[in-house]
């Protein structure tokens, strides 16, 4: 255990004048963007433990999501005004505003190399060029999109809908559609980083996944309610799944998880609202309505390595791209940075 | 999270043209100082001051492996989840459904899981009814009846377009389907906001304060009166009195009942031709109004009550048709009179002076029926027995405590076997060995029950259960209840 023990050390905090609904890190970890549930969009600069914030825009009635371009200098936001905005990541200046739909754009997903942005609103997905100059609408969906995700090579874009997953292979002007049907409202989607598996969590309390090479699928039941999160570790070995206060980790090594007993991470006493694996690492961070931030190493220990209490209900959790820090947002507007410190 | 933190949600249903938009605009424009979010059934996002209007596209999720009853609104799950992402919550949320909507999925959304139950509370289902067209709609399709059956509050709207007699008849019909809803008569959906928002309709005691009559068994008659009559012939007249005839007729042309302007007209045929459908399931007076005339011991309320059993038996017998100008005589004999006949008259032949009770299948006011020159010494209304799409309310009231396990088993059985037909159920139950009230409510197969505040010390406890649904069988429900007695 000694080699793997680690704790989270606070490394700065700031109070924003809005509910922290979403946040995203710049690729170098020096800046963060925040979407406020009441509408404000903030750009934060981080220098050591010092955080400076500036409001850069407002989405009327509420901001929903933010996303930094991987490896790039821009970020995007979406809101209840149905707009998608693109900002300069240094100045915070809004460069472009688009309104792809009358409905809310609820999901933003940059392709892993940052050359395209996918946005989802209602039954429509739009795939934009990086500067939001050109667009292509994917009209293959017959239900409202709950979540979208790219695979690691940025070749396939998956959408979770009521009735399964819809995979779009984008190749020049050609879009090849593959439907992975499952008769349940699918609410999440996540490709394993090794490209072998795509998983979804459903409204009726199960996890369903497909082996992409063969199309073979499996279902994991027994969750108490909606599976709200499905997150892979950096190697595609573990799939962390969350329903209410239960965190269940499936082991995809060897023969895979079918018939195996999953690891249950025990500690949260209220609903878990955020879960994320460290990029390229094995640590898992979670936040819950018990106002607790927990750090885990699934596969090594079923108990948390470290835990902190927040000042208010935590809302969102994101790792910095280098896997050194996590940022945790709260309902009150507080945003706190923690550093992962290994104990040797 | 404390229950008081939950955001109350009002669901607004009603057929196209019933006045939902008028009511919404009224709520949004009134200066009530509350933060309200409205989820509409169409797109077009408009913020009015601090109020939010969101367009939604109904998306039905089947949960629980495709069980038809376990449907929820997927779009609501997402939108309401997003609306929580604020430091200060909304004071109220209003969800408007489409005109043809089954209120089931939207109501069930609030029973789905703890995530929702801790954040939102379904405050009331408010159904707007277009007084001018509701009767036609009830006969042509199922949705309006379901919307009425689900309601906690019914706004009987556009009352200026129909007569008082029509309103009474419609209100009775609504009451027969839904025994607990509060009914308000409105023009232009004008109603105090407090009657539709944050009304706590799921508080059963408040709901029962409305009208407990549906707790009674249903009788085959709606009205009875007891008279002291002299020997000889008495005249029972129907239809408008001459001076009012024109007014009444003026309201009639657009309605779908069989009040006709003259003797020679074949109203039933006209009706069928007009609407091209058959009336088997409707509220139909075409076969005539059931009437029983019984001699009773005294012209008092007690005398009337004592004759009820005999009247019930008489109503179960074959009937004798009585045309306009025909005669009825006392005894346990069911007559069917052509009461729809405007200016109709029927002779009551009374062999000897005494007390007599008249039982009418429908309320006599529907036909302006009156016994000439006589006033009832006592009268009584009974729970209506109209069956709209076989929708009705059944109440059970009993002071005896229940065995918790048996009650649990019965509820499980009911949800599984009858969930599809039970639209709403609510109840306050006294469990053996438990000091607190057990309060439950359910929508189809979705159910939520919990122990709430204690019973008052030293006062009698009582179980009250209400079921609203289709094809409900009182005997079956009562037998089930009795099987739970401790």
Give the pLDDT confidence of A62-86 residue by residue, as tens digits.
Answer: 999 999 999 999 999 999 999 999 9
Mean pLDDT calculated for residue range B204-215: 53
Mean pLDDT calculated for residue range A330-342: 97
Long-range contacts of B59-63 (CB under 8 A, 24+ apart): B59/A143, B59/A144, B59/A162, B60/B105, B61/A162, B61/A185, B61/A203, B62/A183, B62/A185, B63/A184, B63/A185, B63/A203, B63/A204, B63/B112
Q: State which residue of chain A sits closest to B64, comparing Cα positions.
A: A204
Strand-strand pairing, B319-322 and B391-398: unpaired
Cβ proximity of A67 and A24 under 8 Å: yes
Confidence of residue B8 (pLDDT cuts 50, 70, 90): very high
Dist CA A179 CA A124 (whole Å)? 16
Closest CA to B28 of B8, B48, B54, B46: B48
The model carries a pTM of: 0.77
Dist CA A341 CA A344 (whole Å)? 9
Question: Given a cut of 50, is residue B279 above it in pLDDT?
Answer: no
* Strand partners of residue B60: B73
Which chain A residues are closer than 8 Å to B77 by Cβ?
203
Mean pLDDT calculated for residue range B431-454: 88
pLDDT for the residue numbered B42: 63
DSSP output for A33-59: EEEETTSEEEEEEEETTEEEEEEEEE-
Q: How far is A305 from chain B (nearest CA, A)?
A: 27
A to B CB pairs, distance under 8 Å: 76
For chain B, the average pLDDT equals 79
pLDDT for the residue numbered B280: 31
Q: How far is A173 from chain B (nearest CA, A)?
A: 30
* Strand partners of residue B236: B346, B371
Mean pLDDT calculated for residue range B374-402: 81
Question: Given a cut of 90, is residue B59 above it in pLDDT?
Answer: no
Using the structure block, give the residue that is written with the tokens 């509050």.
B153
Mean pLDDT calculated for residue range B230-241: 84
Confidence of residue B389 (pLDDT cuts 50, 70, 90): low
For chain A, the average pLDDT equals 94
Mean pLDDT calculated for residue range A1-28: 91
Mean pLDDT calculated for residue range A316-324: 97
Contacts of B367 (CB under 8 A, 6+ apart): B238, B239, B259, B289, B339, B340
- Residue ranges and CATH numbers for the domains of chain B are 3-214 (3.40.50.300), 223-381 (no CATH), 391-482 (3.30.1220.10)
pLDDT for the residue numbered A152: 94
Cβ proximity of A327 and A304 under 8 Å: no
Q: List residues in chain A touching B: CB distance below 8 A.
A: 18-19, 21, 37-38, 60-62, 64, 80-82, 102-104, 106, 122, 143-144, 146, 162, 183-185, 203-204, 225-226, 244, 271, 315, 331-333
Q: How far is B451 from chain A (nearest CA, A)?
A: 21
Dist CA B226 CA B233 (whole Å)? 17
Using the structure block, give the residue that is written with the tokens 């025990």.
A266
Cβ proximity of A329 and A20 under 8 Å: yes
Mean pLDDT calculated for residue range B226-242: 84
Question: Given a cut of 70, is residue B270 above it in pLDDT?
Answer: no
Mean pLDDT calculated for residue range B36-41: 86
Neighbours of A299 (CB within 10 A): 16
**Under an 8 A CB cutoff, do A80 and B54 touch?**
yes
Dist CA A336 CA B49 (whole Å)? 33
Strand-strand pairing, A334-342 and A6-15: antiparallel
| SS3 (DSSP) at B482 | helix
pLDDT in tens, A160-172: 999 999 999 988 7
pLDDT for the residue numbered B254: 30
Where in B131-267 does DSSP place strands (E)?
153-157, 182-185, 223-229, 232-237
Question: Given a cut of 70, is residue B205 above it in pLDDT?
Answer: no
Dist CA B397 CA B403 (whole Å)? 16
Which of A243-247, A250-254, A324-328, B338-342 shows the lowest per-residue confidence on average (mean pLDDT)?
A: B338-342
Q: Please state the separation of Cα B404 from the chain's center in Å.
A: 30
Closest CA to A28 of A324, A302, A254, A295: A324
Which of A107-116, B223-232, B357-366, B397-406 shows the lowest per-residue confidence on average (mean pLDDT)?
A: B357-366
- Residue among A61, A103, A225 minimizing CB distance to B47: A61
- Is B155 or A173 the better-scoring residue by pLDDT? B155
Mean pLDDT calculated for residue range B299-303: 92
- Residue among B55, B85, B113 minimizing CB distance to A225: B113
Confidence of residue B466 (pLDDT cuts 50, 70, 90): confident
Which chain B residues are closer than 8 Å to A106 by Cβ?
78, 82
pLDDT for the residue numbered B246: 32
Question: Given a cut of 80, is residue B210 above it in pLDDT?
Answer: no
**Under an 8 A CB cutoff, do B59 and A102 touch?**
no
Mean pLDDT calculated for residue range B246-259: 30
Which of A258-267, B70-79, B282-291 shows the lowest per-residue confidence on average (mean pLDDT)?
A: B282-291
Mean pLDDT calculated for residue range A252-256: 89
**Under an 8 A CB cutoff, do B75 and A144 touch?**
yes
Q: List residues in chain B touching A: CB distance below 8 A.
A: 43-45, 47, 52, 54-55, 57, 59, 61-66, 72, 74-75, 77-78, 82, 85-87, 113-115
pLDDT for the residue numbered B64: 62
| SS3 (DSSP) at A163 | strand
Dist CA B29 CA B24 (whole Å)? 9
Neighbours of B327 (CB within 10 A): 12
Cβ proximity of B336 and B288 under 8 Å: yes
ipTM summary value: 0.92
| SS3 (DSSP) at B271 | helix
Cβ proximity of B128 and B12 under 8 Å: yes
pLDDT for the residue numbered B58: 79
Cα→Cα distances A277→A207, A230, A235, A282, A326, Å: 18, 10, 10, 7, 10
Q: Is A270 exposed, middle or buried (0-12, 13-18, 19+ CB in 10 A)?
A: middle
- Is A242 or A174 the better-scoring residue by pLDDT? A242
DSSP output for B401-441: -B-HHHHHHHHHHHHHHHTTTEEEEEEEE-BTT-SEEEEEE
A188: tokens are 């999440």
**Under an 8 A CB cutoff, do A18 and B87 touch?**
yes
Q: Please state the separation of Cα A337 from the chain's center in Å.
A: 17
Phi, psi at residue B91, to the nearest 5°?
-75, -40
Q: Please state the separation of Cα B130 from the chain's center in Å.
A: 15
Dist CA A24 CA A70 (whole Å)? 11
Question: Given a cut of 50, is residue B263 above it in pLDDT?
Answer: no
């Amino acid at each position: 255990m000694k080699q793997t023990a680690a704790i989270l050390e606070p490394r700065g905090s700031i109070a924003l004048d809005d509910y922290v609904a979403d946040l995203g890190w710049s690729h170098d970890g020096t800046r963060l963007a925040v979407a406020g549930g009441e509408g404000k969009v903030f750009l934060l600069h981080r220098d050591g433990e010092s955080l400076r914030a500036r409001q850069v825009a407002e989405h009327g009635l509420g901001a929903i999501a933010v996303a930094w371009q991987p490896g790039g200098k821009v970020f995007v936001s979406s809101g209840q005004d149905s707009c998608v905005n693109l900002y300069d990541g240094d100045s915070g200046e809004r460069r472009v505003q688009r309104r792809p739909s009358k409905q809310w754009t609820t999901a933003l997903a940059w392709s892993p190399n940052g050359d395209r942005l996918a946005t989802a609103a209602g039954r429509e997905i739009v795939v934009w060029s990086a500067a939001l100059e050109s667009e292509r609408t994917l009209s293959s969906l017959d239900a409202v999109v709950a979540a979208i995700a790219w695979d690691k090579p940025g070749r396939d874009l998956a959408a979770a809908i009521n009735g399964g997953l819809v995979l779009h292979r984008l190749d020049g002007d050609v879009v090849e559609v593959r439907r992975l049907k499952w008769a349940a409202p699918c609410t999440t989607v996540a490709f394993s980083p090794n490209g072998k598996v795509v998983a979804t969590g459903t409204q009726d309390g199960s996890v369903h996944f497909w082996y992409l090479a063969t199309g073979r699928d499996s279902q994991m039941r027994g969750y108490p309610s909606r599976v709200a999160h499905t997150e892979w570790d950096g190697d595609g070995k573990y799939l962390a799944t969350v329903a209410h206060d239960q965190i269940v980790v499936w082991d995809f090594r060897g023969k895979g998880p079918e018939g195996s007993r999953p690891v249950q991470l025990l500690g949260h006493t209220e609903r878990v609202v955020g879960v994320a694996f460290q990029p390229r690492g094995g640590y898992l961070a979670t936040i819950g309505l018990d106002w607790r931030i927990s750090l885990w190493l699934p596969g090594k220990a079923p108990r948390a390595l470290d835990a902190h209490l927040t000042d208010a209900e935590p809302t969102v959790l994101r790792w910095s791209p280098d896997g050194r820090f996590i940022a945790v947002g709260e309902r009150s507007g507080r945003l706190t940075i923690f550093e992962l410190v290994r104990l040797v | 999270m404390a229950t008081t933190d939950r955001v109350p949600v009002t669901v607004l249903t009603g057929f196209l043209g019933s006045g939902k938009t008028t009511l919404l605009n009224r709520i949004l424009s009134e200066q009530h100082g509350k933060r309200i979010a409205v989820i509409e059934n169409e797109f077009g996002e408009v913020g009015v001051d601090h109020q939010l209007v969101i367009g939604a596209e109904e998306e039905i999720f089947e949960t629980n492996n495709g069980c038809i009853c376990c449907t929820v609104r997927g779009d609501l799950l997402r939108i309401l989840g997003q609306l929580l992402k604020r430091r200060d919550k909304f004071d109220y949320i209003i969800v408007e459904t489409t005109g043809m909507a089954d209120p089931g999925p939207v109501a069930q959304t609030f029973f789905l899981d703890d995530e929702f139950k801790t954040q939102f509370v379904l405050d009331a289902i408010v159904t707007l009814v277009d007084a001018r067209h509701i009767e036609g709609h009830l006969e042509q399709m199922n949705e309006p009846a379901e919307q009425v059956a689900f309601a906690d509050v019914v706004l009987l709207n556009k009352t200026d377009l129909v007569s008082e007699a029509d309103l009474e008849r419609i209100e009775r019909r609504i009451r027969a389907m839904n025994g607990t809803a509060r009914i308000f008569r409105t023009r232009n959906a004008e109603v105090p906001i407090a009657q539709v928002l944050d009304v706590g309709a799921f508080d059963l005691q408040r709901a029962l304060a409305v009208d407990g009559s549906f707790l009674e068994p249903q009788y085959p008659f709606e009205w009875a009166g007891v008279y002291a009559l002299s020997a000889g012939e008495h005249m029972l007249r129907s239809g408008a009195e001459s001076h009012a005839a024109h007014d009444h007729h003026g309201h009639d042309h657009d309605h779908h009942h069989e009040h006709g302007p003259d003797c020679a007209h074949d109203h039933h045929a006209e009706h069928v031709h007009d609407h091209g459908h058959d009336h088997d399931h409707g509220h139909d007076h075409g076969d005539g109004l059931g009437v029983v005339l019984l001699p009773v011991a005294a012209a008092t309320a007690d005398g009337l009550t004592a004759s009820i059993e005999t009247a019930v038996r008489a109503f179960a017998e074959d009937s004798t048709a009585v045309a306009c100008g025909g005669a009825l005589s006392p005894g346990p004999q069911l007559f069917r009179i052509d009461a729809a006949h405007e200016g109709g008259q029927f002779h009551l032949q009374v062999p000897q002076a005494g007390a007599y009770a008249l039982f009418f299948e429908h309320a006599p006011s529907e036909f302006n029926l009156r016994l000439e020159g006589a006033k009832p010494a006592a009268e009584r209304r009974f729970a209506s027995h109209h069956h709209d799409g076989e929708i009705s309310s059944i109440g059970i009231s009993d002071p005896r405590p229940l065995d918790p396990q048996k009650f649990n088993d019965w509820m499980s059985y009911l949800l599984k076997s009858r969930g599809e037909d039970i639209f709403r159920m609510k109840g306050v139950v006294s469990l053996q060995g438990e000091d607190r009230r057990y309060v439950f409510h359910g929508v189809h197969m979705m159910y939520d029950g919990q122990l709430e505040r204690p019973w008052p010390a030293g006062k009698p406890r009582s179980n009250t259960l209400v079921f609203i649904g289709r094809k409900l069988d009182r005997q079956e429900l009562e037998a089930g209840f009795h099987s739970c007695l401790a």
